[in-house]
Amino acid sequence: MRKPIIAGNWKMNMTPAEAEQLIVELIPLVKDAACDVVVCPPYVDLAVVGKLLVGTNIKLGAQSIHWAPKGAFTGEISADMLLAMGVSYAIVGHSERRQYFGETDETVNKRAKAALEANITPIICVGESLEQRENGVTDTIVSKQTVAAFAGFSAEEAERCVIAYEPIWAIGTGKTATSEDANATIKVIRDAIAGVYGAKVADAVRIQYGGSMNPKNASELMAMPAIDGGLIGGASLKSEDFSKVVHF
């Protein structure tokens, strides 16, 4: 059985002081969680959050990671820098990175590879736009993105990854894929992995749903057999809301 994983993506929210308050509130609320719990603050919050999480069941994640160990990459952050902050997860290829900052399937693959080499678990995001969904090419898009993200990975490396299916049209809009639709698309993603590595590896990879999961719909989504967790946006910015998702 795959252990569920709930990760909070804070995006560009929370000053260090606000982050500290949120984490102090959150720690007791999720201390007995049955799933893996991850928070992914902005880079400026990693140090303060990382210190607060020591000795807790909450893991620290970053919102991206660069593929080079160092160099002239203004605005980027390396695996060693993240490790020094206590980071053990990194979101890779979020749709907002793809849409606004030029992320491609190739750079997603390179970032995920760098994370794995540093023993940081990549949370690799895949998902279709509204136009692609309306054109009936969702399965093709998510399969292509998944296979491209895993290019050159060994079976062991593939098993260590987490995938987040994020229908782009459902992020930050309040819209959510039906639980059945989300489950069906996640099954397509798992089938794409099986096509490359076989059923054993595909069955081991955890796949989250990342389209506006919140306290109201978490239990229904998490009841679906193919859905192994959530990549949570807005609901992760309030300790009470996030804890309710964690305890789906």
pLDDT at 168: 85
Average pLDDT over every residue of 68-86: 97
Q: Domains along the chain?
A: 5-246 (3.20.20.70)
Query: Is 34 within 8 Å of 222 (Cβ atoms)?
Result: no
Is residue 212 over pLDDT 90? no
Angle of helix 46-53 relative to helix 16-30, nearest 10 degrees, comes to 30
Select the more confidently predicted residue: 118 or 99: 118
Average pLDDT over every residue of 58-70: 98
User: What distance separates the 2 farthest-apart alpha carbons in the chain?
Assistant: 48
Is residue 108 over pLDDT 80? yes
Average pLDDT over every residue of 114-125: 98
Is residue 175 over pLDDT 90? no
Q: Where does the pLDDT of residue 1 fall: very low under 50, low under 70, confident under 90, or very high at 90 and above?
A: confident
pLDDT at 29: 98
Q: What is the pLDDT of residues 129-158, one digit of tens each?
A: 888 988 999 999 999 999 999 999 999 999
Q: Is the dihedral of CA 224, 226, 227, 228 positive or negative?
A: positive
Q: Where does the pLDDT of residue 246 fall: very low under 50, low under 70, confident under 90, or very high at 90 and above?
A: very high
Select the more confidently predicted residue: 236 or 129: 236
Query: Is 66 within 8 Å of 56 (Cβ atoms)?
Result: no
Pairing, β 5-9 against β 229-232? parallel
Q: What is the pLDDT of residues 96-105, one digit of tens each?
A: 999 899 999 9
- Give the catalytic positions in this structure: 94, 166
Q: What is the pLDDT of residues 35-62, one digit of tens each?
A: 999 999 999 999 999 999 999 999 999 9
pLDDT at 185: 96
E-strand ranges in the chain read 5-9, 36-40, 58-62, 87-92, 121-126, 162-165, 206-209, 229-232
Is residue 128 over pLDDT 90? yes
pLDDT at 239: 98
Mean pLDDT of the chain: 96
Query: Is 209 within 8 Å of 226 (Cβ atoms)?
Result: no
Q: Is the dihedral of CA 25, 208, 10, 150 positive or negative?
A: positive
Is residue 171 over pLDDT 90? no
Q: Pick the range with the lowest mean pLDDT from 10-24, 80-94, 160-174, 219-233.
A: 160-174
Is residue 8 over pLDDT 90? yes
pLDDT at 202: 97
How many CB atoms lie under 10 A from the CB of residue 40?
27
Query: Is 228 within 8 Å of 206 (Cβ atoms)?
Result: yes
